[in-house]
Amino acid sequence: MIKNIIFDFDGVIVDSEVLASKAFAKYFIEKGYNVNEIDFYQYAGMKTVQVIDEVVKKYDVKDKNKFKDEIFDIALDYYENDLELIAGIKKFLERSKCSHFIGSNRNKNSIIDGLERVNLLEFFKTDKIYSFDMVKNPKPAPDIYLKAVEENNLINKETVIIEDSLVGVTAALAAGIKVVGITAGSHWHSSRNVNELLVNSDVMITNNYNNLDQILEDF
């Protein structure tokens, strides 16, 4: 029986992965590149600084620090004005009897700020929020999830992790915990293959939170 749920944040609780992609697309379009936001969906689940390193190499950006500052400014504007919930998450949290945790590659203060913006902070105790700045290695390493399990004495077979990216799924499985891959975020466009999350039989997939109750029972 599942008693504990550890949620990723971006793309699982808030529909923010698409906002980061929009920020990168806006920057490069204004510089004359032929790109769109879909070109950046592949970086879902990674820390922003990791994405910046990848993008700087791919697009041969000359001034990395200036680029980083501009991207952060654009992304912050989207985050402050366009942040929305993943469809169905609030109703699921309202009916869930499980203990709720967050494990994310975003920093903790930003997670708390995001939860406040979308009026979900009541469902998560701040000491149950785990972020990359609390561990040595971010996802895809399992450190964030291992810390949550250890500090709360969670039993793996009674715990499930909700993820939306291969980076996150890899981290969850490395922690020895079953995973539900949710593809309800806007970054999961129609041409994207959800099978990229099906690493092994410990992963199940759903495209909405209405099905999650039954999936948890099946676990």
* Sequence-distant (≥ 6) Cβ neighbours of residue 26 within 8 angstroms: 74
Separation of alpha carbons 37 and 18, rounded Å: 7
Q: Is the pLDDT reported for residue 190 higher than 70?
A: no
Separation of alpha carbons 164 and 167, rounded Å: 9
Whether this model's pTM surpasses 0.85: yes
- DSSP string for residues in 59-121: TT-S-HHHHHHHHHHHHHHHHHHH--BPTTHHHHHHH--SEEEEEESS-HHHHHHHHHHTT-G
What per-residue confidence (pLDDT) applies to 48? 79
Residue 141 backbone phi and psi in degrees, to 5: -65, 155
Q: What is the pLDDT of residues 72-116, one digit of tens each?
A: 999 889 988 999 999 999 999 999 999 999 999 999 999 999 999
Query: What secondary structure letter does DSSP report for 157?
Result: G
What is the token pair recorded at 145? Answer: 């999830």
Q: What is the pLDDT of residues 197-218, one digit of tens each?
A: 888 888 999 999 999 999 999 8
The three state secondary structure string of 52-73 is: HHHHHHHCCCCCHHHHHHHHHH
Burial of 214: CB neighbours in 10 Å, binned 0-12, 13-18, 19+ = exposed
Separation of alpha carbons 37 and 203, rounded Å: 27
Q: Can you say whether the dihedral through the CA atoms of 125, 44, 15, 95 is positive or negative?
A: negative
What per-residue confidence (pLDDT) applies to 191? 66
